[in-house]
Copies of this chain bind each other. A is one copy, B any other.
Amino acid sequence: MTTTVEQLPLAEALVRLSHRVQQVFAEVSRRHDLTPQQAQLLCRLAAGPVGMSDLTRWLALEKSSLTGLVDRAQRRGLVVRIPHETDRRAFQIALTDAGAARAEATHRAVIAQLDALLTTVSPAHREQLSTLITDSILDTPR
State the interface size on chain A (CB cutoff 8 A): 52
For residues 117 through 133 of chain A, which have their beta carbon under 8 Å from a beta carbon of chain B?
117-118, 120-121, 125-126, 128-133
Bound-state CA distance A138–B137 (Å) is 19
Bound-state CA distance A10–B15 (Å) is 17
Q: Are B15 and A138 in contact (CB under 8 A)?
A: no
Bound-state CA distance A90–B16 (Å) is 27
CB distance from A66 to the nearest CB of B (A): 15
The answer to whether A69 has its CB under 8 Å from any CB of chain B is: no
The answer to whether A74 has its CB under 8 Å from any CB of chain B is: no
Q: Are B13 and A18 in contact (CB under 8 A)?
A: no
CB distance from A3 to the nearest CB of B (A): 5
The answer to whether A104 has its CB under 8 Å from any CB of chain B is: no
Given pairs A17-B21, A125-B132, 10 additional interface contacts (CB within 8 A):
A7-B130, A8-B134, A10-B114, A11-B118, A14-B21, A17-B18, A17-B133, A20-B137, A120-B140, A128-B128
